[in-house]
Each structure stands twice: as C-alpha cells, then as structure tokens.
Amino acid sequence: MHLFYTPDIEPSHPQYFLSEEESKHAVRVLRLNVGDKVQLIDGRGGLYTAEIKDAHPKRTILQITDVVTGFNKRNHYLHIAIAPTKNIERLEWFLEKATEIGIDEISLIICQRSERKEAKVDRLNKIITSAIKQSLKAYHPILNEPEPLSKLLSRSFDGQKFIAHCEESDKSNLKQDISLNGKYLILIGPEGDFSPKEIEDALHNDFKAITLGQSRLRTETAALEACFEVNFLNRE
C-alpha cells in the first residue's frame, strides 16, 4: 500500500485533500485511481488508512477509513547532537539510517574544530521524511538548526547526558550507564573531535564521557553506533 506524509492531517476530519505535489505523484506517477487504498502518516504518531474518492491530479480527495494513534511509539527518547560533516553526504547518510533505526531529535552543533559550520535544514528534513516513509515510521524526528555547542550545553535536558570523544580519559559505555526507557542526549563531535575545553565544559554540565568501542570511528559512524546501541538496549 502506498504511503504519504501528511503533517497537516487532523484525526477528527473524515476527508483529506492531498497537496498538488502529492496528488500529481499519486495520479500521474503511481497511477492510483478511485477506490484504491493508501496509508498516511502525520509525523506525530498517527497512521491513517484512506480510500481515494476523487483521483484528481491537483487535489486528490481521500476518505479516511481507519486511524491508529501512537503507532509503534518507542519506549525511550533519543536526542543526538552531531557536528555536521565536511562532506554533507555523510551527514545525510546518518540522518537516513538513524531515522530508519529510530531517533527522536537531532541537533546540529558547531564546534571549535568543525570544518562545516552550516547546513541546509530544509534539504536534510526531506531526507528524514523519505526515510520515515521507507521504514513506516509515524513519528517524524525533529531536526534543529545549526548552533554553537556552547548554546546546547547551556540548556537543561530532562534525561541522561553523554559525550563520546577520543581523548584518553576514564570512560564507561552505554550498557553500563544507561537507564532503560529513559531520555538520552548524546554528543558526537566533528572529524577532529571535540577540543579539550569543549570536553571539560560538557563534563562540567553533567555530561558523562562514554566510549563507543575500540575502533576510531568517523563522525557519522559514531553517531549511528550510538543510535543503534540505545535502541538495542531498549528493545523490548
């Protein structure tokens, strides 16, 4: 069954009008017609089943036949703050795979050693949207605009906070420290790692240093490894 992302849909409304772009895709590309069934996701946990009532290429009308709220809601909240990679395609790869595995929020942080200090959030959000459709996720991860690491460190977070870095120091791992079914914020630095001052500031703000294994990982690989570990440890 074909799936559409419809963030403006309301559960109480019996009908929904696809946007012109989505209508054209449904009618001209997918060749859908009156009576065909489709699924819709709103990015807020809603999964809808609908039937096409008018297959118009500019304004397709759907009749909602079933609504599931809280579809596949996960038992934890994962927020990864990652420094944008010099090669933006590596960050795009992380966003796609992390969305498929399971993530709730991503912050883009600018660090002292960052080689990339900007990112087109609109384009990155399209990659996330494509990934939730591919993996049938009803929740759309939040992607925050790039900001200095210092701003993120200054904000409160109601959960466990970790920083993964490469400096030689005492570190634990997520399996040892994680409280299951909780909220987690994990910092992943740029290609040149966090600076000693940034690590010190994070620890001062109650972040705990962790290791993600013995290998030296690329930024996007480290972030995905953290994402996988959190989801695996919280698997019911």
pLDDT tens digits, residue range 56-81? 999 999 999 999 999 999 999 999 99
| Domain identity same for 63 and 85 | no
Among the candidates 27, 49, 68, a domain finishes at 68
| Domain identity same for 192 and 111 | yes
Among the candidates 28, 44, 68, a domain finishes at 68
Give the whole-angstrom CA distance, residue 25 versus residue 56. 11
- Region 152-161: what's the mean pLDDT? 96
For residue 236, is pLDDT > 70?
no
Q: Is 187 exposed, middle or buried (0-12, 13-18, 19+ CB in 10 A)?
A: buried
Among the candidates 46, 68, 90, a domain finishes at 68
| Domain identity same for 31 and 58 | yes
| Domain identity same for 110 and 84 | yes
CATH number of domain containing 35: 2.40.240.20
Q: Over pLDDT 90: what percentage of the chain?
A: 94
- Residues 87-104: tens digit of each pLDDT: 999 999 999 999 999 999
Task: Please name which of 101, 235, 234, 103 lies closest in space to residue 180, comparing C-alpha atoms.
Answer: 234
- Residues 112-141: tens digit of each pLDDT: 999 999 999 999 999 999 999 999 999 999
Q: Given this model, what pLDDT does residue 156 score?
A: 94
Q: Given this model, what pLDDT does residue 84 score?
A: 97
| Domain identity same for 60 and 99 | no
Domain total in the chain: 2
Measured torsion, CA atoms of residues 134, 136, 138, 142, in degrees rounded to the nearest 10: -30
Residue 36's domain spans which residues? 2-68
For residue 18, is pLDDT > 90?
yes
Q: Given this model, what pLDDT does residue 170 score?
A: 87
Q: Given this model, what pLDDT does residue 168 score?
A: 86
